Amino acid sequence: MLGEMAMSERIRIAIDGPAAAGKSTVAKKIAEKLSIVYIDTGAMYRALTLKAIRDNINVEDEKSLVQLLKKTDITLSQNGIDKNQVVLMDGEDVTAEIRTHQVSNAVSYIAKHPAVRSIMVQRQKELAENISVVMDGRDVGTYVLPDAEVKIFLLASVEERANRRHAENKRKGFSSDFNKLKQEIKERDERDANRAVSPLIQAKDAIPIDTTTLTIHEVVEKILETIHNHMNLNKE
């Protein structure tokens, strides 16, 4: 029923929150349930970070990063098998490589630069133009899609987020140190919240959901209920 309603009207769903709060996992499931497009804005910053690492560009060198971004093609698509997002950088599939520990540690330094964010936000706005989307990130509800019909802000304790990232690393075969991850997440939260341009903050009209003690299914159901209520209000 909800999927049928989503197909009949345009809806943009913004899901924001800190690192490892469950944004991507939840956003993918919401998009699948509603049969609409999923856009992971963080993957775009990660792709640029990967290229900067490969090209030995200093993460603090904003001018060089902007030049690199302008000549880099970053494409998000879905594969035809399990509908997972595929990230292409200049035609190369970097979906797995952008999730490495090295990229995770560097991405917030690159994402803090105003000129980099300006270009990325414009590209993200264009991706969401005239279609129904679920977009997740850290500034979707505040800067990328400030007029999104539904805004969600996911939260979770640092301990729980470190546990999730630790389990994910082990599942992917990466080496992982829980205490180090915990510290890195704290530091990333601080960088994201205090950057000069589009910091990580909850939009005034966003609905907060603390996922610390919730299953993925429970979070998805809460968001679907919010979307359902929005659509019903629009019909009145």
Is residue 172's pLDDT more than 70?
Answer: yes
In a domain, 107, yes or no: yes
Q: For the segment 42-99, what is each residue's pLDDT rounded down to a tens digit?
A: 999 999 999 999 999 999 999 999 999 999 999 988 765 556 789 999 999 999 999 9
Q: What was the pLDDT predicted at 236?
A: 52
Domain total in the chain: 1
Concatenated DSSP letters for 136-185?
EESSIIIIISTT-SEEEEEE--HHHHHHHHHHHHHHTT----HHHHHHHH
**Which phi and psi angles does 15 have, rounded to 5°?**
-120, 110
Query: For strand 12-16 and strand 133-137, is the pairing parallel, antiparallel, or unpaired?
Result: parallel
Q: What was the pLDDT predicted at 77?
A: 83
Task: Give the Cα separation of 64 and 21 in Å (integer).
Answer: 31
In a domain, 7, yes or no: no
In a domain, 74, yes or no: yes
What is the pLDDT of the chain when averaged over all its residues? 90
Give the CATH number for residue 178. 3.40.50.300
In a domain, 22, yes or no: yes
Q: What was the pLDDT predicted at 83?
A: 62
